[in-house]
Chain A
């Protein structure tokens, strides 16, 4: 088993929490893992990404080579498209929120971004902020995203929920439950969308 994931978003959106939960679950399953993060200047509203590599055998490089990623998992649609050259052209998936984060003057037309995503063969894209708002708060959109990519992972979803509990435990049971609900919603939506295709 080997899964290479590029997590993407804008600094401050919370992609590192997704990485932490996947890390806890992977450690639990005795998988090897390397996860390169971005700290420092770019965290101030710039584009951020994390290379996450899970494998049943030792992982050498902290970085994923071009054309090898199994999925790009993103909280922002343009940020998802930033890493298409890393996707495996035969099998790579994009799982992304379609809610744009516009903090630059030259952000592309949203229709063009939507079209670029729609034209792809393997994509799960929906507005995860709106989905999170439906059941919890927009801040748990990252857990909707984790749920949405979970059907593509070789990790038991209950292990991921354990990971969510571990990461949010100190914030109280209410926050834990909200995040688990967000995770389940994301997972359901993704399964629905994939079977609909």
Chain B
């Protein structure tokens, strides 16, 4: 169907664009703000009829490798993750430039400037450059839709994966998107060049030279890209580089057109000639980009240049946090619009665990038990239960990355810490907790691992969890002592029993796993109303 207009989130626009461009599979682990891409494909009728793969993967590395396997067989694949997921899949991602691709492959990295729902503000464009993989950065929902097809074509033409760098504000903002043409899926085929798919040193040395040559040619591609634009202004006092959605904030401030020379960047590596021209034709430069000052640092280099460059590094824009139209207005030197002051009586309202959530029962019981020990330490993990750090629980000492609860508890126990308790969710456990648990089992580390199993991936909205119904078997299969793999229901009426069980296993001088289980109240509600 042509010219159909739809109201879509940036995530959904990208998903639909990929489907219309003949996508055969999406691979992902849920992570804000990327989750809705895969969810859209899972619920899309046409994708179901076509049999597009959309089952969740255990983590971002398995997702990336599965997508690469599909690409090896000539079909178009997409892998989606939040920015910190790039860290998990980095091994596969960086080496996918070395293997190259056969079927088009998009790697979506959804960055979260301002850390709305994340532990850091890392900018995935650094990964693209590090791996010598080209990146696209859509500025709007329509562009996200159109770029999906462009990216898959481009990926097949240059035989490299293409990164699609999104940011929260685009992922989670809706706009009207006009749908274009559809294209059939690729048929099964195999790579013509076979050696680069076996990354033995001899093959890799040859391929690495090719990758570096390719990178130079990608710079030329960026000069010609329809998504990088030189817009000539009438006032040469400043030349502005605006990437991705930063371009929208710039335009917001100039409803009648921007008087300055502007380079809009949406394809990387950077178009160096275009930027050189901007520098030649402008007195000074201002770089506006959401996330870290990636472009700004490249333009500045280390040694002082002739041209004054402003941006996040000299304070023209805030060094941290997402951009806003107001921050951009200030950087251009526009007068701040008249507005009221903040209302002083308004206080912050932090998120909290839901009433009726089983994690609450785990923290209540754990706190009551640990009150009886001196210097107990609880190593937390990533998920809703991270909120256990907040009042009234104040139950967690560390939260670092997916799976770190178990391994940090083990390291702490190695240092002589007791009690060392790990609290991890079921989905996080199968994402990255299992391998760490094997370490702890192999040394019978005196730690207590509580898997707070809510039968779902809760924080991201209740996606299927890959370990549901298998957690005890996984722990036993890894070699945990069956006498110390215990299960209990996380319920207020079980408070005393939970306390007794926790105490017993904390006092056991070896490794124990307690699966404390109760379905997430949100997914339980959904399941109940679906049954009605």
Binding site for B on A (CB under 8 A): 10-11, 19, 23-24, 27, 32-47, 51, 59-68, 78-79, 81-82, 84-87, 89, 103-104, 106-108, 112-113, 116
Contact = CB atoms under 8 A, between A and B. Distances in A.
Given A37-B174, A65-B329, A85-B339, 13 more contacts: A27-B5, A33-B174, A35-B175, A38-B172, A44-B352, A60-B252, A62-B173, A65-B325, A66-B339, A79-B349, A85-B342, A107-B347, A116-B343
B354 A45 contact: yes
B350 A46 contact: yes
A89 B285 CA distance: 34
A81 B351 contact: no
Nearest to B248: A60
B384 interface: yes
Contacts of A35: 173-175
B49 interface: no
A41 B117 contact: yes
B392 to A, nearest CB: 9
A41 B353 CA distance: 10
Interface in B226-250: 245, 248-249
B346 A81 contact: yes
A42 B174 CA distance: 19
A123 B342 CA distance: 17
A103 B352 contact: yes
B461 interface: yes
Contact of B175 (A24, A43, A44, A59): A59
B460 interface: yes
B192 interface: no
A39 B169 CA distance: 10
A116 to B, nearest CB: 7
The 5 closest A-B pairs by CB, nearest first: A67-B339, A40-B117, A46-B351, A40-B32, A61-B252
Contacts of B252: 60-61, 65
Interface string B329-355: 100000011111111011111111110
Contact of A40 (B116, B173, B249, B342): B116
B1 to A, nearest CB: 16
A33 B140 CA distance: 12
A191 to B, nearest CB: 26
B474 interface: no
A37 B459 contact: no
A10 B347 CA distance: 13
Given A35-B173, A65-B329, A44 B353 contact: yes
Interface in B370-412: 384, 387
* Interface of B (DSSP majority class): loop
A66 B337 contact: yes
A87 B116 contact: no
Contacts of A46: 349-352
B176 interface: yes
Interface centre among A39, A59, A64, A78 (most CB of B within 10 A): A39
25 contacts: A32-B176, A33-B176, A34-B175, A35-B174, A37-B9, A39-B35, A39-B172, A40-B33, A42-B117, A42-B351, A43-B351, A46-B351, A60-B251, A63-B249, A65-B324, A65-B325, A65-B337, A66-B336, A66-B337, A78-B349, A84-B342, A84-B343, A85-B342, A108-B345, A108-B346
B338 A62 contact: no
Nearest to B357: A44
A64 to B, nearest CB: 8
Contacts of B459: 40-41, 44
Contacts of B116: 38, 40-42
Nearest to A64: B325
A108 B325 contact: no
A84 B344 CA distance: 11
A68 B33 CA distance: 27
Contacts of B340: 67, 84-85, 87, 89
Contacts of B354: 44-45
A116 B345 CA distance: 9
B123 to A, nearest CB: 19
A108 B347 contact: yes
A65 B5 CA distance: 27
Interface in B135-166: none
B130 to A, nearest CB: 27
